[in-house]
Amino acid sequence: MAHILDQIDTHKDLMALDDADLKALADEVRSYIIECVAENGGHLASNLGTVELTVALLAELDPEVDRIVWDVGHQSYAMKILTGRRLAMKRLRQEGGPSGFPNIKESKSDCFGTGHSSTSISAALGLAVSRRLKGAGNAVVAVIGDGAMTGGMAYEAMNNAGALKEDLIVILNDNEQAIARNVGSISEMLERIRFSPARRKIENGFKQILSGIPIVGEKIRQAGHVVKRSLKGLLLPKMLFEDLGFTYIGPLDGHNIKMMRNAIRDARKLGGPVIIHAVTKKGKGYAPAEADPDSYHGTGPFDPATGIKVNNNKDGFTDVFSKKLVELAESDPRIVAITAAMPAGTGLSSFARRFPGRYFDVGIAEQHAVTFAAGLAAGGLVPVVALYSTFLQRAYDQMLHDVALQGLHVVLAIDRAGIVGEDGATHQGTYDMSMALSAPGFTVLAPMDGTELEMMLGWAAEEAAGPVMIRYPKGHSNDSARTGPAAPFMPGRAEVLKSGSDVALICEGPSTSEAMKATSMLEDEGISATVINIRSLKPIDEQVVRSALKGHRLIFTVEEGVARGGLYSSVMLLCEGQAGSVIPLSIPESPIKHGKRPAVISRLGLDAEGIAKAVMAAAAKEGR
């Protein structure tokens, strides 16, 4: 590592650097980010694109006094490196190391925790109002990407900010991408601004023309104002921001540190809501990431010299979903697919290539995605909405109000259900079961392995009549501990994989495989276990569950979700008059910190060893 970064312990050390040193520092920070992500995995392309912007912010502001809110936060690695966490970044996203997102418990420089999109302006506006009410004088900045600007919450916040007129700086980090390339009219508008060489010339020309119009009375003055605004609105798409009450600065080169520092100073002098439009390049400075920013948005470990990624060559649940959906769509023209700006992550890239007219990327707009799907279903199509579990949370009202209450045939393919690992608390798929199980009319399914996912997706698309949610985790789909062929799938029918006399393990999803592995450890201790693969969480197989409750003194529910409102709660509803004692093995309701998925599963006691230990402890307490 070069010498300047070695001398930077905190952001305060940037004050002693001149423009040339700051540029050199940015280059070193970029190299260090590549080094850390190559070792641990993480968000690479987004962070490489915001290095100079971060240096400019920290050269002008004190993040322990001024408030800097990063939208999503997956571009905050440079901020972490320059605010006292440089050495800790060697353990980025690992247990005991820094989070991949801003975390208010991690540093005073992280003023607001983020992990989901389009929240920064709302949070920053709240910080700005609290500053005024306390009589403070610090700056408040929201850094939001153009991808996050496809989310409606950003405009709700801007509308409110324009009315309140608080001193607030919004930096629009415009790199033409969210995770995949941006879509929609907002993206097209920004592109017109970004690539309009005549923009300033036109604007200045109108100012000169309008200044020569004689003002005769108030009516003409008002008319002149209307004409000016309507002409600018026609020719200058930036007027969207100004019509919302923001002063617009830009577009600027977001990699020019001096230019960005001047813009931040100007914005503070102007006061009120100001938007600085900074154009950056995602993946800047690392050829593989520049060439393929989608692939290097979130990446596992890789060789920094070549960009070649470590690959375990095992199909995951996402791969199984992707292949099966294309297969189903080949024979059923009613099937359409929807993503919220994550075609690769959710496995829809293959569908998009094969059926471009039946594939819809709605941008970072999960609420719209679900209601759009409801409209498609009402029109006679079979929409499959592929979302991560953590992002389904953003569309709960739409899932309940627009889909469930109307009984529409919408299929929610919920990826990354349960523990995701390195992305940590903001991304764990903890609550989707509780959400869907409480929604009227939903069928809720959890495959143990890839074979079951294929069967469930086929049933959901071709046979179901109402809303269906299928939840599946990040991980390998072929690590099943099944000892024989899978039984044919039917909703409401569980599968008894192993029969025993002492304890019953009622399991959902891949937790079933861990329970099966645990039975051999239990047998060594003289404990005979029944293992039930519940498959269908709603409707649940009441007959099999009641039989387990009657036939065993100890019953355990094993699930990658919270017990409240999940599998445990569903089993407890069937416990009336039954003899068994039900013990939940589940994800606690407290935030789950980052770490590799197997390590987090182990920490929570949801791996085979943890399940066996819990059963043995309970059996010992019972005197067995």
Residue 203 pLDDT grade (very low, low, confident, very high; cuts 50, 70, 90):
very low
**pLDDT tens per residue, range 415-432:** 999 999 899 999 999 999
- Statement: residue 196 has pLDDT above 60: no
> To the nearest whole percent, how much of the chain has pLDDT over 90?
77
Which residues have C-beta within 8 Å of that of residue 11, sequence separation ≥ 6? Answer: 58, 62, 63, 64, 82, 83, 84, 109
Cα–Cα distance measured from residue 65 to residue 136, given in angstroms and rounded to the nearest whole number: 10
**Dihedral Cα 533, 536, 539, 545, nearest 10 deg:** 0
8-state DSSP, 82: I
- Statement: residue 548 has pLDDT above 90: yes
> To the nearest whole percent, how much of the chain has pLDDT over 70?
88
- Average pLDDT of the segment spanning 573-588: 86
- Statement: residue 84 has pLDDT above 50: yes
**pLDDT tens per residue, range 467-493:** 999 999 987 877 677 778 888 999 999
Q: State residue 188's pLDDT score.
A: 59
List the domains of the chain with CATH numbers. Answer: 3-299 (3.40.50.970), 317-471 (3.40.50.970), 495-621 (3.40.50.920)
Cα–Cα distance measured from residue 278 to residue 523, given in angstroms and rounded to the nearest whole number: 63
Lowest mean pLDDT among 79-83, 236-240, 392-396, 522-526: 236-240
Amino acid at 610: G
Cα–Cα distance measured from residue 434 to residue 380, given in angstroms and rounded to the nearest whole number: 28
**pLDDT tens per residue, range 348-402:** 999 999 999 999 999 999 999 999 999 999 999 999 999 999 999 999 999 999 9
Lowest mean pLDDT among 128-142, 150-164, 165-179, 511-525: 165-179
Retrieve residue 174's tokens. 């415009």
Give the global pTM.
0.87
Residue 226 pLDDT grade (very low, low, confident, very high; cuts 50, 70, 90):
very low
- Statement: residue 214 has pLDDT above 60: no
**pLDDT tens per residue, range 130-150:** 999 999 999 999 999 988 988
- Average pLDDT of the segment spanning 284-305: 89
Element (H, E) at 557: strand 554-558
**pLDDT tens per residue, range 34-52:** 999 999 999 999 999 999 9
Query: Within a 10 A sphere around the Cβ of 344, how many other Cβ atoms?
Result: 18
Half-sphere exposure of 616 (CA within 13 A, CB side): 16
Cα–Cα distance measured from residue 236 to residue 233, given in angstroms and rounded to the nearest whole number: 5
Q: State residue 189's pLDDT score.
A: 54
Q: What phi and psi, each to the nearest 5 degrees, are found at residue 530?
A: -90, 135
If one compares 496 and 226, the residue with the highest pLDDT of the two is 496
Which residues have C-beta within 8 Å of that of residue 286, sequence separation ≥ 6? Answer: 30, 34, 44, 48, 296, 307
Lowest mean pLDDT among 41-55, 257-271, 278-292, 305-319: 305-319
Cα–Cα distance measured from residue 424 to residue 554, given in angstroms and rounded to the nearest whole number: 33
If one compares 178 and 433, the residue with the highest pLDDT of the two is 433
Element (H, E) at 290: helix 287-291
Cα–Cα distance measured from residue 169 to residue 404, given in angstroms and rounded to the nearest whole number: 40
Residue 588 pLDDT grade (very low, low, confident, very high; cuts 50, 70, 90):
very high
End-to-end CA distance of the chain: 60
Given a contact cutoff of 8 angstroms between Cβ atoms, the answer to whether 384 and 355 are in contact is: no
8-state DSSP, 10: S
Query: Within a 10 A sphere around the Cβ of 96, how many other Cβ atoms?
Result: 9
Residue 502 burial (C-beta neighbours within 10 Å; 0-12, 13-18, 19+): middle
Cα–Cα distance measured from residue 154 to residue 569, given in angstroms and rounded to the nearest whole number: 36
**pLDDT tens per residue, range 329-354:** 999 999 999 999 999 999 999 999 99
Q: State residue 579's pLDDT score.
A: 64
How far CA 224 is from CA of 74, 190, 201, in Å, comes to 45, 27, 20
Which residues have C-beta within 8 Å of that of residue 593, sequence separation ≥ 6? Answer: 95, 99, 424, 425, 600
Residue 276 pLDDT grade (very low, low, confident, very high; cuts 50, 70, 90):
very high
The residues assigned a catalytic role are 282, 366, 394
Q: State residue 230's pLDDT score.
A: 44
Residue 313 pLDDT grade (very low, low, confident, very high; cuts 50, 70, 90):
low
Residue 243 pLDDT grade (very low, low, confident, very high; cuts 50, 70, 90):
confident
Cα–Cα distance measured from residue 572 to residue 586, given in angstroms and rounded to the nearest whole number: 14
